[in-house]
Structure 1
């Protein structure tokens, strides 16, 4: 018997996701934690602000270590992730919602671009498999 069906669904989603979908989940998680940090900042809840900013930083670090830096785009993304991590540190120290909004904007752009890449790859796979697009 499943005690928490939502947790079971989340676990199953992660276990069956492709690497591209996992990256998309990481971007969405990062955005969620930044939003929760903003709310905590507005409520002057220092502990929750700190926890959520650290979770967002951990996701960006995870995304950083999965990059292939043998090409220019990987090196550029690594520099951007490092920049965003440092901006999150600043936001945390300064209690600055504007910086969180700035970081959130970058992450949302990365997520949206990544989503387009996944959709394009699916269409190409369908065409390659003899399907119609």
Structure 2
């Protein structure tokens, strides 16, 4: 998502509006997926806050697209970077365990 924001900024600066639209659309899809896969029951307040933050970032992306605003893309980057950094600090084994637990929960339903 962060790479695509950077590419969208470049496309915006070069006035390549079709490419900018595709890139921003892809970032929005990534954020929607992150938002929609949150387990609000298990995650509690943290998951609810992330849900709201992802919604806010999606809204900012849409506004950045409409207004050709590099500053709004920077704002989304500044919000998303600490989330990415925190994710990178989680051990891979913990990520895999959480993924498996989520998969089992979906299969049980």
Point out 4+ residue stretches in structure 1 off by more than 4 angstroms: 119-122
Aligned to 2:105: none
**Partner of residue 68 from structure 1, selected from 39, 63, 69:** 39
Larger Rg: 1
Residue 40 of structure 1 and its aligned partner are, at CA, apart by: 0.2
Aligned to 1:35: 6
Gaps of 5+ in 2: 96-109
Q: Work out the number of aligned pairs and report it.
A: 93
Looking at structure 2, the residues matched to 118 and 40 of structure 1 have their Cα atoms a distance apart, in angstroms, of 35
Gaps of 5+ in 1: 1-29, 123-133
Q: Deviations over 1:50-88 (max 9, x none)?
A: 000000000000101110112111111000000000000
TM-score between the two structures when normalised by the length of structure 1: 0.66
Looking at structure 2, the residues matched to 67 and 31 of structure 1 have their Cα atoms a distance apart, in angstroms, of 20
**SS of the residue aligned with 1:67?**
coil
Looking at structure 1, the residues matched to 59 and 68 of structure 2 have their Cα atoms a distance apart, in angstroms, of 14
Looking at structure 2, the residues matched to 51 and 74 of structure 1 have their Cα atoms a distance apart, in angstroms, of 28
Aligned to 2:103: none
Looking at structure 2, the residues matched to 56 and 110 of structure 1 have their Cα atoms a distance apart, in angstroms, of 15
**Partner of residue 116 from structure 1, selected from 86, 89, 95:** 89
CA RMSD of aligned residues (A): 1.6
